[in-house]
Amino acid sequence: MKRKILEYLICPACLPEENPLRLGHSQSSGGEISEGVLECGGCRRAYPIKGGVAALATHNVSSSPESLRYEAPDFLSAYLWSHYADLFEDPDATGAYSEWAGQISPVAGAALDAGCAAGRFCFEMSLKCDLVIGVDLSESFISMARRIMEQRKLSFRLKEEGRIHSERAFVLPARWDSSKVEFIVADAGALPFRSGSFSCVASLNLIDKIPHPLEHILEASRSARPSEAQLLISDPFSWSEAVCSPDRWLGGAPDGRFAGAGIDNVARLLSGEDRPGAPAWKIARRGAVWWKIRHHANHFELIRSLFVKAER
Ligand SMILES: [Zn+2]
């Protein structure tokens, strides 16, 4: 983990109290901490840094069967394809990440990508911000994203059919700046960052994959600066009872607090209706991005991710 991330960190278990994390015994070289412990002075909890990966979640990803899906090798390589297939000129690749990045105006300060998976959006954001932090609850995703950040290239096995796999390889474009990018394991519903840390916050295809979507939106808003901030939320709103109890869905219900379409309810939440006192967001733009997941050579999921771009 890059040492410059330390100033942003607080203990996620102590929220809403914001207790800073102090670096205990550690091994580091230059600005990189390879091994160590981050300690909370409030609850005394200790969070490990192992092999450069800081694990700042209050619970383990392997605790739920649904999240375990994200640790499987074929699932990881399917996400690598979704994030990087345009770099090896796959004819079926989408331009989704460039489209999402195109919604963000260059801005001074730090950016956060909540649910960064294999890291593509963070690299795109290195062109727009001074620092980019990607977080994901999956250790496999974060380890892979850090490996891509460090090595700037990757070969990986992609499923073709059944037990047949083939190799793919890509190199990061030189203009994407790894020195501005960091990835850490964290929960999008309890972000380990001080309030007002980020001038840009993104949440791409995450809202329908987590058990507490409302808490995530409030956390995304809390971690963004109170003014001169941008927020991009994009999701297909594929609500699933396996992931999130229907009483916590932010849409897809015929009646109740979040009746109707998720994207409308997200826009309404950001506009401040449900959260008096917080600096409300102004919806600058709404739109859609086509995104694909590749399961094997002949099986793709085509996803329309609806987005709101908000500013305050
Ligand atoms: Zn604590």
Which residues neighbour 295 within 8 Å (Cβ) at sequence distance 6 or greater?
74, 78, 159, 301
39 and 152, same structural domain? no
185 and 97, same structural domain? yes
211 and 175, same structural domain? yes
Q: Which of the two residues, 257 and 64, has the higher pLDDT score? A: 257
CB atoms closer than 10 angstroms to residue 29: 7
Tokens 């105006």 identify what position? 105
**Rounded to the nearest whole angstrom, what is the distance from the C-alpha of residue 56 to the centroid of ligand 1?**
11
Among the candidates 12, 28, 56, a domain finishes at 56
**Rounded to the nearest whole angstrom, what is the distance from the C-alpha of residue 35 to the centroid of ligand 1?**
20
CA dihedral 165, 66, 149, 29 (to 10 degrees): -120
**Rounded to the nearest whole angstrom, what is the distance from the C-alpha of residue 20 to the centroid of ligand 1?**
8
Choice among 50-64, 93-107, 167-181 with the minimum mean pLDDT: 50-64
Tell me the pLDDT tens digit for each residue of 100-115. 999 999 999 999 999 9
**Rounded to the nearest whole angstrom, what is the distance from the C-alpha of residue 196 to the centroid of ligand 1?**
19
86 and 231, same structural domain? yes
Among the candidates 9, 41, 56, a domain finishes at 56
pTM of the model: 0.95
Number of domains into which the chain is organized: 2
**Rounded to the nearest whole angstrom, what is the distance from the C-alpha of residue 60 to the centroid of ligand 1?**
16
Q: Characterize the bridge pairing of strands 110-114 and 198-204.
A: parallel
- pLDDT, average across residues 286-303: 97
Tell me the pLDDT tens digit for each residue of 214-268. 999 999 999 999 999 999 999 999 999 999 999 999 999 999 999 999 999 999 9
**Rounded to the nearest whole angstrom, what is the distance from the C-alpha of residue 58 to the centroid of ligand 1?**
10
**Rounded to the nearest whole angstrom, what is the distance from the C-alpha of residue 12 to the centroid of ligand 1?**
7
239 and 197, same structural domain? yes
**Rounded to the nearest whole angstrom, what is the distance from the C-alpha of residue 183 to the centroid of ligand 1?**
21
Q: Which domain, by its residues, includes 223?
A: 59-311
Tokens at 216, concatenated: 């995530």
pLDDT at residue 61 is higher than 60: no
